[in-house]
Every structure is written in structure tokens, then in C-alpha cells.
């Protein structure tokens, strides 16, 4: 989960901007967590404590009104209507990574990812994006290599990840849907050799940068681990209550 949070922070200041230079410092004074982190933490709390996803996601929004929540998600959280709104947005994928650490089989991962997505993102593409992200995390933490992960994602979920990173640099464009965010995020993780390289590749794309890096960081943590210096920079930007939840979750899945 810390990898997802690190990615969110690293990407936070580059959203809506041109890709930065290759040697830009990954963390800068104004790097910060966003709603991506808060919803990832909410997912972890649901798994740890049995809280329902609807309640947890709504509470995260209501308790943090200063965040730039998506318009439809914010309207859902503010309303008394708990019905999902058929979203295919990438929010279902950016918040799901704890599921990949918590579950102990592919079937469990896919089922729980659907549960976490469908309280808001009940569109098939919203569910597919969450399932692909969680499954990639699960497979990576099980030690699967890039070819195996790519094959399972294609077979189970139909993301073929056939466009290599060298082409994504030119073709990737900002969007906020799962189908446009999850495949590039998974592609860079499967082509990279380290967590830091994943982050630099994420920043180089024209994309919803914090969410792309959050998704990629979640899988990169499971593949490579989080370097100690990135963990330090991430942790010092989190309030104590969030750190306590990160540590409690890490202990529970270790």
C-alpha cells in the first residue's frame, strides 16, 4: 500500500502539466497525498476492520472536503443515495491495491476487487480496472515474473498490454477512465527494473499523473519493494493517523 501512496505523492504536482524533465526530483516541497491516498487507506480499513466500502469511501470524502474529489464521486458521497453511479473512471483502480495484499487466491482477489469497485464504479470497465490492478499486485507479491503477470491480465481481464512504453510516450493522453489508465500503468511496471524507474516512466506520460503513478506504484511495491529513501519521504508527508493505519495493515499482511 505504501507504494501506491508514494506514487500518488510523486504524481500529485504534475497533473495537468507537461511531463517534467527526466531528472526532476521525484519528491518536491509541495508533493502531497490526494484523494487517491485517502481512498486507498479507506480500502485497507475495510479489510482490517470489516467496515463496508460504501460507508468508508463516503466518510473519507466527507471528512476531507479540501481534497479535489471527482464531481460524481463527491455528489454520491454527499447524497443520501447509496446506489452506484455506473462509473468507468480510474478511481476504482487507484484505491484497490490493499485487496491484492489481503487476499490469498486469484479468485478471492477478483471477487473482492469487484466488491470494492461496485459500490460506485459498477460499470464493467470500472470493475475490470480494479480487478486488473489488484490481480497484478497479488501476482507480483507471489513472485510472478512480468511475462506471467502480462499473460494472466490478458487471459482473465482482456488487457493485452501490447503497446510498449516507447510508444506510450507518444500515444498516451490525459484521461480519467480505467481503460486509459490501468494498461499504461501496468505496462510501465512490467517493463521497468526498479520502483524508481517506474515512477520516472509514469511522470513521462501525458496522463492523470497522480492516479497513474498510484496504480503503478502499488504494483511496483509488490514487484520491487519501496526503496528506503522513498519510504522516508512518503512517511514524513503522512499524518500520524494515516501512518498508524499503514503500519497496522503492513503488519497484518506480513
Q: Which grid cell is 46?
A: 475495510
DSSP state at residue 89: B
| Domain 2-21+28-253: which CATH number of 3.40.50.880, 3.40.50.300, 1.10.4080.10, 2.120.10.30 | 1.10.4080.10
End-to-end CA distance of the chain: 12
Contact predicate 136/219, CB 8 Å: yes
CA distance 113 to 128: 9
Query: With a threshold of 0.75, does the pTM exceed it?
Result: yes
Closest CA to 3 of 65, 84, 94, 115: 94
The number of CA neighbours under 13 Å toward the Cβ of 58 is 17
| 161 phi and psi angles, rounded to 5 deg | 50, 45
Residue 83 has pLDDT above 90, yes or no: yes
Contact predicate 99/116, CB 8 Å: yes
**Tens-place pLDDT, residues 174-189:** 999 999 999 999 999 9
Angle between helices 124-141 and 178-191 (to 10 degrees): 20
CA distance 66 to 71: 13
Alpha helices in 158-193 (DSSP H): 165-171, 178-191
Domain extents for the chain? 2-21+28-253
Confidence band for 15, pLDDT divided at 50, 70 and 90: confident
Q: Which grid cell is 221?
A: 511495491
**Tens-place pLDDT, residues 37-78:** 999 999 999 999 999 999 999 999 999 999 999 999 999 999
Q: Which grid cell is 59?
A: 466518510
Q: Which grid cell is 18?
A: 507537461
| 16 phi and psi angles, rounded to 5 deg | 70, 15
Q: Which grid cell is 184?
A: 499504461
Amino acid at each position: 500500500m505504501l507504494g501506491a501512496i508514494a506514487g500518488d505523492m510523486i504524481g500529485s504536482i504534475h497533473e495537468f502539466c507537461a511531463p517534467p524533465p527526466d531528472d526532476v526530483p521525484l519528491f518536491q516541497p509541495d508533493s502531497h497525498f490526494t484523494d487517491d491516498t485517502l481512498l486507498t487507506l479507506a480500502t485497507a480499513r475495510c479489510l482490517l476492520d470489516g467496515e463496508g466500502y460504501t460507508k468508508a469511501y463516503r466518510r473519507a470524502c466527507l471528512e476531507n472536503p479540501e481534497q479535489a474529489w471527482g464531481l460524481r464521486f463527491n455528489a454520491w458521497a454527499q447524497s443520501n443515495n447509496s446506489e452506484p453511479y455506473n462509473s468507468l473512471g480510474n478511481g476504482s483502480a487507484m484505491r484497490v491495491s490493499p485487496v491484492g495484499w489481503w487476499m490469498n487466491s486469484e479468485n478471492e482477489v477478483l471477487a473482492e476487487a469487484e466488491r470494492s469497485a461496485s459500490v460506485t464504479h459498477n460499470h464493467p470497465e470500472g470493475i475490470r480496472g480494479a480487478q486488473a490492478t489488484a490481480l497484478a499486485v497479488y501476482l507480483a507479491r507471489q513472485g510472478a515474473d512480468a511475462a506471467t503477470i502480462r499473460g494472466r491480465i490478458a487471459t482473465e481481464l482482456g488487457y493485452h498490454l501490447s503497446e510498449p512504453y516507447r510508444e506510450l510516450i507518444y500515444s498516451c493522453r490525459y484521461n480519467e477512465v480505467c481503460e486509459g489508465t490501468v494498461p499504461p500503468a501496468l505496462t510501465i511496471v512490467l517493463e521497468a527494473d526498479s520502483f524508481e524507474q517506474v515512477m520516472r516512466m509514469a511522470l513521462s506520460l501525458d496522463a492523470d499523473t497522480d492516479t497513474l503513478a498510484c496504480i503503478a506504484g502499488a504494483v511496483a511495491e509488490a514487484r520491487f519493494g519501496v526503496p528506503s529513501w522513498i519510504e522516508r519521504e512518503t512517511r514524513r508527508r503522512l499524518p500520524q493517523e494515516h501512518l498508524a493505519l499503514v503500519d497496522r495493515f503492513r503488519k497484518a499482511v506480513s
